[in-house]
Amino acid sequence: LADFVGRACECHGVENIYLDPKNKGYECMHRRMGITSSEFWEPLKGNKFWRDLDVLEEGVKTLAFLEDTFGRDNIFLLSKPADDIGYFIGRYEWIHKNFPKYLQRTFLHKQKHMFAGSSSLLIDDSIDNCELFQENDGTAFLYQQPWNDKGNFHPNGLLLYSKEAILKFIEQERKYYEK
């Protein structure tokens, strides 16, 4: 939903590193920038960075599709927090500003897999988050981005997000429960 990558690159004074095809498939931005993890996170501290993230139009469209498909009451936003109190304040300010109806439906938690269960579905751009969610009896769809792009096949069996994939999943679940 938010353009973390674009804003982080802007804060470091570099062009979006994922515009360069050689960075495709690399999740550790700081290594691609040639800096340490501490150097990467330092300018992102405080609520202003998180509050002022741009909204991704594709994320808005995806959320609208999910609302139409599952109903807003069945959707929660999960976000993995940074190790900074400013993150928590800024993230809630961002939700309040951009998606106020989800303010009470947002969880900031490092372990998204704690929300997994047989009737839960996660759409996430982190391979690790998706794998852990599936290992804990949830269904996960990987939202493809340049940093997680391994092509159309993931050897770990992750489902790749698309509207068609969600609708196919729903139909398969419906058939399973009709038996």
Q: Which of the four pLDDT bands, split at 50, 70 and 90, describes residue 169?
A: confident
Tell me the sheet residues that pair with 159: 141
N-to-C CA span, the chain: 37
What pLDDT is stored for residue 40 in this prediction?
A: 96
Query: Does the pLDDT of residue 157 top 70, yes or no?
Result: no
Residue type, 5: V
Per-residue pLDDT of 100-146, as tens digits, reads 999 999 999 999 999 999 889 999 988 889 999 999 999 999 888 88
Q: Is the pLDDT of residue 153 over 70?
A: no
Contact 132, 113 (CB under 8 A): yes
Band (pLDDT 50/70/90 cuts) for residue 97 is very high
Tell me the β-bridge partners of 84.
Answer: none
Q: Are 77 and 105 in contact (CB under 8 A)?
A: yes
Quick one: tokens of 50?
């998180």
